[in-house]
Amino acid sequence: MKLSGLHIFKDYNQASSNQRRVLIKLAEPFIDSLQHIDTNFNETIVISDYGSAEGYNSVAFFNQTLPRFREFSQKPIMIIHNDLPENNWNTTFKTLEDSDSYVKIPNVYFSGLGRTFIQQIFPNNYVHIGISSLAFHFLPQSFSVFDHICPSSTNDLILKQQIAEVAHSHFINILTQRYKELVDLGRLLIIIPTETVGMLYPAVPIQIVNENMYAKGVINEEEKGKITIPTYGKSDEEIQRALEEVKHLYRIIENKKVDDDWKLTEENKEEFLESLKLLAIKHLETCLKRVVKRDEEEVKLIIEEYRKEIEVIVENTPFTRFPTFHLIILEKIPF
């Protein structure tokens, strides 16, 4: 089938196929956790989907996993999708009400919560299972980084250390807030990128495009430094440091690296490139509107320049290396 440009995807969310592939790595740990909760609790199972975006990936995940749970339990399930207040919640709820959504599964309910997860967002001892895939690695603040679109990939060693400490404190805070929300023996399922985060699909073309736009004078040096994807990918040592710091809160069920083992082929290449263009454009539009302090019409022209450049760069950039991820399963230790 011939793909017709960016219009093959309804939105940015549906174009993020790489995120769906990574999220599904949590399928078996999730089903295992459901069985664990089903055995130990008699009440409705509350699941928090932290950083759900517009819900498309979450729906695909729960569509695949919940029917397997229903084979051995009819216990009620409440899924709460969480993201920032500025998330496109209209799209989220339309996605959840779609005929292909998991809500068709008996005794499964959902709601949405628009609050940042850097704070406690549920009552104490409320959530049975928390899930987060590619959300907990976003930094709580911006940094001006001039040599790479991803702050954790900068070659400025002093700045990198500063960012690393912010990222560490941020991650510990997230784990601490989730501990409060989890019931005793509740589980937290996490996927975050390793230090290969700079290889994530949108980051590669955005990095090249940003350099080109600066070289052409479309953006100035200050703007270039602020146009970043505010994420931090952790090394094995950084993960171990964090888990050691919260060992009094959690029992480690699993901690391993997983690969995105998807292969780029001639058959899927066109769809991959089109999704990559959309991801990059959406990231850049958001960032440019925040960073470039010029009049509205000039910002629109700059965004259009970026859009044209993305089209060219994505088509001519080889994508042979893909990132790796940390998969972490934690269980709350009762006091």
Distance CA 72, CA 74 (A): 7
Cα-based distances in Å from 291 to 84, 199, 216: 19, 23, 18
Please, what is the average pLDDT of the chain?
86
Model pLDDT for residues 226-272, shown as the tens digit of each residue: 887 788 889 999 999 999 999 999 999 999 998 877 666 778 777 77
The answer to whether 145 and 151 are in contact (CB under 8 A) is yes
Residue 48, C-beta contacts closer than 8 angstroms, at least 6 positions apart: 80, 82, 122, 127, 129, 130, 131, 181
Q: Which one, of 52, 250, 201, 204, lies nearest residue 135 by Cα?
A: 52
With cut-offs at 50, 70 and 90, classify the pLDDT of residue 319: low
pLDDT digits (tens, 9 = 90+) for 100-159: 889 899 999 999 999 999 999 999 999 999 999 989 998 988 788 877 778 888 889 999
Domain boundaries, the chain: 5-332
According to DSSP, residue 98 is labeled: S
Q: How large is the angle between the packed helices 27-40 and 56-70, nearest 10 degrees?
A: 50
Q: Which residue has the higher pLDDT, 26 or 208?
A: 26
pLDDT at 9 over 70: no
With respect to CATH, is domain 5-332 assigned 3.60.15.10?
A: no
* pLDDT score recorded for residue 5: 34
pTM of the predicted structure, to 2 decimals: 0.85
On the question of pLDDT at 318 being above 80, the answer is no
Please tell me which of 97-111, 153-167, 176-190, 317-331 the model is most confident about, judged by mean pLDDT. 176-190
The stretch 195-224 carries a mean pLDDT of: 80
CB atoms within 10 A of CB 212: 15
324-332 and 182-193 beta bridge pairing: antiparallel
Residues in the chain: 335
Per-residue pLDDT, averaged over 310-323, amounts to 74
Rounded mean pLDDT, 320-330: 84
Tracing tokens 């910002």 back to the chain, one arrives at: 299
Lowest mean pLDDT among 13-27, 46-60, 136-150: 13-27
Rounded average pLDDT over 173-185:
99
Q: How large a percentage of the chain has pLDDT more than 90?
A: 47
